[in-house]
Amino acid sequence: MIRTILAAVDGSASADQGLRLAAQWAAELPARLEAVFVENEDRYVTYEFAATVEAGVAFPVPLPPDKLAEEKRKVAEEREGVRRTFNQATAGKVRDAQFTASAGSVNSILAHAARGADLVVIGNRGRFEPPTDRSAGPTTETLIHNASRPVLVVPDGARMAGPFVVAFDDSKGVQRVLPAAVELAERLKRETIVLTLDNDPDVGKRTQDAMKGYLGSHQVSARYIVERGRAAPAILQCAQKEGAGMIVMGAFGHNPIYELFFGSTTLSVLERSQCPVLLMA
């Protein structure tokens, strides 16, 4: 069961949106909410003067004292701003909520914290990513790969109400994420739309047979749709048409190596989705 939700927070618009959703779900389920702010150690060093000719590698060196003090001041301001947002999102709503600030490697700290959570919530892009780019940021991608937990990726301005759209096939990723998705649908009382892509409608319907019994046993109201076409456009079109509050999918399809190097359905959905995306590698 989902008893603990981890929200990765950095003050970005999408992380703030994710925090608000995490607080809302923590109140409704109910669940414990932990928000983690990481003081990124890379902000306190420079690689400018440390290149080595032999290895072609740059080694980090500390910032000059005046620049280090200024950067630490900025980080402290960011941390307290995020803390205020956390307090606003949780006060009087979430019974068990904790804000934690840690210093070190962002990826390592978040991956470690995720091991103590049942669900991880993160914004689509970090505070310092280009605002015109909607693709998933590197920290978000790394957490999806390393969390070993369902990860909910929330875009800025996300639509958070509405049914859940499950992009269902027999890949391992979607099978892993289904228990969390079904529990959320059951406890939050959300309709679930099961979308399967297959050029043969009869084959697609047979693929969905297992889901019918599974959702029925959890008393989740569901509709079943079989579509033809490419995965990402079909998933996004269905979510838009249905006014979805969440897309559920595996982080990879049948061939993770192919998707990793030659373009992923997951990355395309994350870039263009107007609602949160729940996935698991």
Tabulate helix, strand, coil % of the chain (nearest 5). 45, 20, 35
pTM > 0.85: yes or no? yes
168 and 150 together in one domain: no
Q: How many CA atoms lie within 13 A of 153 on its CB side?
A: 33
Residue 135's pLDDT is 82
Indicate the residue among 154, 189, 208 that finishes a domain.
Answer: 154
Q: Which residues contact 229 (CB under 8 A, 6 or more apart)?
A: 197
Domain's final residue, options 107, 134, 154:
154
Inside any domain, residue 53:
no
Based on the fold, state whether residues 148 and 236 are members of the same structural domain: no
| Statement to judge: residues 105 and 29 lie in one domain | yes
- Residue 261: what pLDDT? 40
Structural domain tally of the chain? 2
Whether 58 is covered by a domain: the verdict is no
Whether 51 maps to a domain, the answer reads no
pLDDT tens string 91-100: 999 999 999 9
Residues 111 and 213 in one domain: no
pLDDT of residue 132: 74
What is the domain-level CATH number for residue 72?
3.40.50.620
- pLDDT of 52: 52
Residue 104 is predicted with a pLDDT of 95
pLDDT attached to residue 61: 87
Indicate if 250 and 273 belong to the same structural domain: yes
Based on the fold, state whether residues 206 and 185 are members of the same structural domain: yes
Q: Which of 154, 189, 217 is the last residue of a domain?
A: 154
pLDDT of residue 134: 78
Q: Tell whether 228 is covered by a domain.
A: yes
Q: What is the per-residue pLDDT across 58-72, written as a single tens digit (0 to 9) for each?
A: 778 889 999 999 999
Give the residue among 142, 146, 181, 167 at the shortest CA–CA distance from 253: 167
pLDDT number for residue 239? 97
60 part of a folded domain:
no
Q: Tell me the residue range of the domain where 10 lies.
A: 4-40+66-154
Which stretches of the chain score pLDDT less than 50? 50, 257-258, 260-263
Contacts for 195 with CB less than 8 Å, ≥ 6 apart:
165, 166, 167, 168, 225, 226, 227, 234, 235, 238
Q: Return the pLDDT at 54.
A: 56
